[in-house]
Structure 1
Amino acid sequence: MSPLRSLLSFAGVSMLSLACAAPALAAPASPAERVTPMTPDIVDHYEQVLPSADFIRREAMVPMRDGTKLYTVIVMKKGTQGGPILLSRTPYDAHEATHRVASQRIVDILETMDAEFAQDGYIRVYQDIRGMHRSQGTYIMNRPLAGPLNDTGIDESTDAYDTIDWLVKNVPESNGKVGIIGSSYLGFTTLMAEINPHPALKAAVPESPMVDGWMGDDWFHNGAFRVSSLDYAVGQATNKGDGGGEFALGKGDDYTRWLKAGSMADFAESLGISKVPGVRKFVENPAYTDFWSLQAVDKWLAVRPLSVPTMLEVGQWDQEDSYGAPAVYRALEPKDKANDMVTLVIGPWRHSGANHGGSSLGALDFTGDTAREWRTRYLKPFFDHWLKGAPDPHTPPVVTYATGINQWQESPRWPMGGATPLYLDADGTAGFARPSGAGHTDYVSDPAHPVPFIPRPIDMGNAAQWKPWLVHDQRFVSGRPDMAEWQTATLDKPVHIMGAPEVDLYAATTGTDSDWVVKLIDVYPNDVPEPADQGGRPSMAGYELPIGIEIFRGRYAKSFARPEALKPGQVTHYRWALPNVNHVFLPGHRIKVEVQSSLFPLYDRNPQTFVPNIMTAKPADYRKATQSVWFGGSQASAIILPVTEP
């Protein structure tokens, strides 16, 4: 066959093929429907959830008793029937919490901690609290319980009740049983649901809950103000929490920035935020008056019956809410007559770390993913029993992770350790024997050069700095002239503590006010056999690991509600607690105690001159002072360690 005939033959076959295929093509669009270069490119909606998705996601506006409607997202695996409801009430955007990744798998769209529940037929519900994001109503930060501070009859307790009531009536796939869980602010709303609870609420897990913002959670610690609270208040108050409230300060060292700013009131004025209600609440109420004390959630729970099984969780190195969970445990535990309704969990985590990966924290490595271990070994069996009728797992009254030896331990009560004083002594030594002599160690504290809480430059918005700061190697401040330190001899046997170490401090100042910061530190031996570079993390050789750090504002030595000036040169007795821990100081290690008078810019500076309101202190009020820590005799400063016997 000639080349030309072959070409014609091929063309004929091709044309025949096209003719045969033509009927399968879509009919031509009409001129009005055809896409042109000028066809608008906006569509009303694109549904990301495809028919192939393994989940169902619904949105609802749930009515409260006052008519306010709250945005609520309901997510469950396809085919769910008779599933329990697991609720979280949040100020941090319910839509985002249920839309974490654009995916067709339920384990992808939900938070990490939801995976085990979503796969096992739980119906996961997130709700924006009133006034935030897509919910109606007015937002009030940590809205007080209806009562002396709130005459509306509406609070987070009533909203939780109304929400649960709606869910059990309008989610046909449920078994009518509800559990509630959440961390931080969501821990607060979880606890609020337990006050006058709905009958369908069968179990609650408050994680790192905001309980008392003045005593030791987000806003103050023993009267010292946490600077980042201003940023939080403005961010929450702006655009229903949807952003736009960030301080436009650019990059730079926050230590320098806050030092230059002066007092909190001066800084607020310079940023134009002095009239923001949340900022005013802090600036105008620096003492523990009824304004704060009547908002303490542990006090509300202490006077009410215990009717909801509760598992309280907190991280040993929680940098935001270390106070709340143990405080609620102390309020609820006496009501738990059979020791089977309240559980306290302390894990080796940062704030909210229990809901993420738990294999490490900063330079620390643990044996396995401790967060997942807790969720699968204790958390889910707890909910399965109360919400699904699974066999009783006999959840222990206390579950803690012993750092130092890296193992979970179960206990009948908390604290477990007895009170064993670790005395401060002469020449920077510390020991368990009471000092034979008496004296004091001095240092000069200068508000113009406060001690940083982490190495500079400091970026308070940098999660890599903020989240693990409580385990940061403390050698960066050791030897400074504006602090004092004491250290034991090398330990020849382990010292195991289970509880909250207490500071028993006798101290004086030449000023009329002072802050006191105490650090309890585990000093590692300098010959730890490991490489200097562990995937970018530092070696533990010689590492000074903080086990507990806490501050106390001197003006509140006699009364948290009525501050008084300190008398220059007069020794004052201070007593306060460090965070709750389960830790083993190993043989070959040392125990170290440090005392300083600033922790900046985590906390505002004390001017060391008494003024009625530190928030409005003026530049001339900030003065140097000589600080004296006393030891031995009748003024024997010590750290009271909750030591357990081997």
Structure 2
Amino acid sequence: MTKHFRPLGYTAAAVAALALASSLSAQAPTDTMMNEQVKSYDWVRPQADYVRKTVMIPMRDGTKLFTVIIYRKGTQDGPILLSRTPYNADKMSSRNRSQKIEEILPVADAEFVNDGYIRVYQDVRGLDGSEGDYVMNRPLRGPLNKTKVDHATDAYDTIDWLVKNVKESNGKVGITGSSYLGFTSLMALIDPHPALKAAVPQSPMVDGWMGDDWFHNGAFRMFGFDYDLGQTVKKGGGDVPRGGGDDYTAYLEGGSAMDYAKAYGLLDLPVVRKVLEHPSYDAWWQGQAVDKLLGARKLTVPTMLVVGQWDQEDSYGAPAVYQALKAGGNDNVSLVIGPWRHSQVNYEARELGPLKWEGDTGLQFRTQYMKPFFDCHLKTNAPACDTPPVLTYATGENKWEVSQAWPAGAYTPLYLGANSSLSWTKGASGSDSYVSDPAKPVPMLPRPVHMKGDEWKTWLVQDQRFADGRTDVLSYQTGVLDKPVHIKGAPKVDLRAATSGQDSDYVVKLIDVYPQENTADPKMAGYQLGIGIEIFRGRYVGGFDKPQALEPGKVYDFKWALPNVDHVFLPGHKIMVQVQSSLFPLYDRNPQSWVPSIMDAKPKDYVKATETVHFGGDQASAVWLPVAQD
């Protein structure tokens, strides 16, 4: 037996020091005054359990896009899961500088890379590591884009390169992502590459005027200027520098959208000028509406559309695309509505504000539905597909449900009535009035209002008792329910109203009123939970591309939809509808006098107006609920 002897007098520490000295002596000698900055450091070490590559993929016009490719070591015959992002692909794929693949990638990627998927993130052209010019939500080639490239061609060229150069793949690609990444996922479906076999666009930006990020039914979201500044400025970007106080006060003092933009130097941003130049639903907006673009084509890629029931940013897009595709006879599209805020599907989703679910609903969806959907379309030896046509989470009863179509309920009117009542039957004619004062708009949240962080993420489930009882808010409610009312679809507003002004906004809130005594969850006692909240700008009553002054005193029929929901109003609860004329500072104030563009309204244009809501008889206001027959 061989024995190893340590020299006398040498401790373990001394031996280690000798080894270190020997290692350092092999390096180049150092000078105390040499430049101690080094060019780079590869933080992915040999002991990492994954491979992480960065490449510049050439597009058809020669522009190269920065792309990160990640997979677990030993992966072979792996499907590719692609996301195209404006939010820095390098950072998105290096959440932690770890040597474990689950630690560097977003939480939602773990189930995929642990099952042999190859994860790919790419910067869209013009941002972060990619070459080229950046255009916000770059339109499809055509009247609004005279170049030969767009997100559809960039996705095609990227997929073409990946399947030819990533030898560990099986040549099949899926695409996914939320919000802007949902938009780029949808654009990849237009004239798609043959290797694109499945798509899961989540909370996609689809129509910025009708109901996603910039406008809702004509009412402008001024806080979008923060996004514009952060997204399109190379140096000095970020939020508009209005300070960290009450956003209600800051926007009120800022005045109209144009005056606010001028005060903070935002007119230097091309994207801001574009939005201000197009206050109505003109050809510029319509030509970018992705639901219209996809609805005019045959869908060749199986697609699962995903949205949160309380998505505070992009509630409109996914259901709009679903309806457009189904109207075009496409059967390879499904819809998912989860109990989530914007993009919460990709995070832990056990709760939203005060609401608690049965387990982590985000994880449940990803493992039980999303991954099986990709597996059956992307794996080499694919399992059979069993994708639900429509998957929704019934809040109130807190369980997943499968439906064959959407909406899944029969529309039934719930009528506004006398004495602040709501009824399934039409009552006698009458009306209620309130004074809307643009100098004192109804806040979206109890003040002080902060449009960032958790307040913004959960504002749609805010207790509405802070607004109930205001003199400029009308509240109508049913009696105590003796049986559940289950709604599955987008409630529809039919509001018969008149104004003393020449323009007006109307906000309708559908609310679940909890019992005044609730020992099972005391903090929810009496809670007024918003189930659907949406605005309509009155000047568009004759068409979203045809703004018109309202005739004072004339009763108009204002019609619009609330967000899509699956919700159960439980026995012992009440249903409430609130009506008001502002939701500030989420939406800009309507001056209530006639101005050609509200964007450019001046202080003198903002006037008080009396708003009259009619009910019963021939002028019966109602909210039509898609009631399911359980």
Please give the TM-score of this superposition, normalised by the length of structure 2: 0.96
Alignment match of 1:371 (pick from 362, 366, 389): 362
Amino acid at match of 2:345: A
1:592 aligns with 2:579: no
In the TM superposition, residue 229 of structure 1 has moved relative to its aligned partner by 1.3
Q: 3-state SS of the aligned residue for 2:239? A: coil
What CA distance in whole angstroms lies between the structure 2 residues aligned with 1:88 and 1:330?
A: 24
Q: Is the 8 A contact 1:234 1:278 kept in 2?
A: no
1:408 aligns with 2:400: yes
Larger radius of gyration: 1
In the TM superposition, residue 27 of structure 1 has moved relative to its aligned partner by 4.5
What CA distance in whole angstroms lies between the structure 1 residues aligned with 2:444 and 2:8?
A: 81
Report the equivalent of 2:212: 217
Amino acid at match of 1:332: L
1:481 aligns with 2:458: no
Higher deviation after alignment, 144-153 or 93-102:
144-153
1:55 aligns with 2:46: no
The CA deviation string for residues 527-563 of structure 1, in whole angstroms up to 9 with x for no partner, is 111465xxxxxx1111100000000000000011120
The CA deviation string for residues 546-595 of structure 1, in whole angstroms up to 9 with x for no partner, is 00000000000001112000000100001100000000000000000000
What CA distance in whole angstroms lies between the structure 1 residues aligned with 2:22 and 2:336?
A: 66
The alpha-carbon distance between structure 1 residues 13 and 581, as it changes in their structure 2 partners (threshold 3 A), is closer
What CA distance in whole angstroms lies between the structure 2 residues aligned with 1:19 and 1:181?
A: 55
In the TM superposition, residue 305 of structure 1 has moved relative to its aligned partner by 1.1
Q: Is the 8 A contact 2:507 2:533 kept in 1?
A: yes
Report the equivalent of 1:343: 334
Report the equivalent of 2:3: none
Alignment match of 1:391 (pick from 362, 383, 407): 383
The CA deviation string for residues 483-521 of structure 1, in whole angstroms up to 9 with x for no partner, is 101000000000000000000000000000000000000
What CA distance in whole angstroms lies between the structure 2 residues aligned with 1:548 and 1:465?
A: 17
**Alignment of structure 1 residues 40-79 onto 2, 5 Å:** 40-79=35-74
What CA distance in whole angstroms lies between the structure 1 residues aligned with 2:563 and 2:213?
A: 14
Report the equivalent of 2:260: 267
Report the equivalent of 1:579: 563
Q: Is the 8 A contact 2:225 2:240 kept in 1?
A: no
Report the equivalent of 1:524: 514
Q: Is the 8 A contact 2:295 2:327 kept in 1?
A: no
The alpha-carbon distance between structure 1 residues 529 and 63, as it changes in their structure 2 partners (threshold 3 A), is same
Report the equivalent of 1:251: 244
Q: 3-state SS of the aligned residue for 2:41? A: coil
Report the equivalent of 1:420: 412
What CA distance in whole angstroms lies between the structure 1 residues aligned with 2:290 and 2:310?
A: 22
Amino acid at match of 2:246: D
Report the equivalent of 2:286: 293
Gaps of 5+ in 1: 1-11, 533-538
What CA distance in whole angstroms lies between the structure 1 residues aligned with 2:329 and 2:46?
A: 48
Please give the TM-score of this superposition, normalised by the length of structure 1: 0.94
What CA distance in whole angstroms lies between the structure 1 residues aligned with 2:19 and 2:316?
A: 70
The CA deviation string for residues 4-26 of structure 1, in whole angstroms up to 9 with x for no partner, is xxxxxxxx953899999998674
Higher deviation after alignment, 501-510 or 388-397:
388-397
Amino acid at match of 2:468: S
Q: 3-state SS of the aligned residue for 2:375? A: helix
Q: Is the 8 A contact 2:141 2:148 kept in 1?
A: yes
Report the equivalent of 1:550: 534
Q: Is the 8 A contact 2:229 2:237 kept in 1?
A: no
Q: Is the 8 A contact 1:306 1:336 kept in 2?
A: no
Report the equivalent of 1:6: none
Report the equivalent of 2:4: none
**Alignment of structure 1 residues 160-309 onto 2, 5 Å:** 160-239=155-234, 244-309=237-302
The alpha-carbon distance between structure 1 residues 123 and 13, as it changes in their structure 2 partners (threshold 3 A), is closer
Q: Is the 8 A contact 1:522 1:589 kept in 2?
A: yes
In the TM superposition, residue 38 of structure 1 has moved relative to its aligned partner by 3.8
Report the equivalent of 1:626: 610
The alpha-carbon distance between structure 1 residues 23 and 286, as it changes in their structure 2 partners (threshold 3 A), is closer
Q: 3-state SS of the aligned residue for 1:233? A: helix
What CA distance in whole angstroms lies between the structure 2 residues aligned with 1:17 and 1:459?
A: 59
Alignment match of 1:357 (pick from 348, 352, 361): 348
Gaps of 5+ in 2: 1-6
What CA distance in whole angstroms lies between the structure 2 residues aligned with 1:353 and 1:252?
A: 27
Q: Is the 8 A contact 1:237 1:245 kept in 2?
A: no
What CA distance in whole angstroms lies between the structure 1 residues aligned with 2:11 and 2:483?
A: 92
**Alignment of structure 1 residues 627-642 onto 2, 5 Å:** 627-642=611-626
Q: 3-state SS of the aligned residue for 2:103? A: helix
What CA distance in whole angstroms lies between the structure 1 residues aligned with 2:16 and 2:618?
A: 102
What CA distance in whole angstroms lies between the structure 2 residues aligned with 1:639 and 1:633?
A: 15
Q: 3-state SS of the aligned residue for 2:363? A: helix
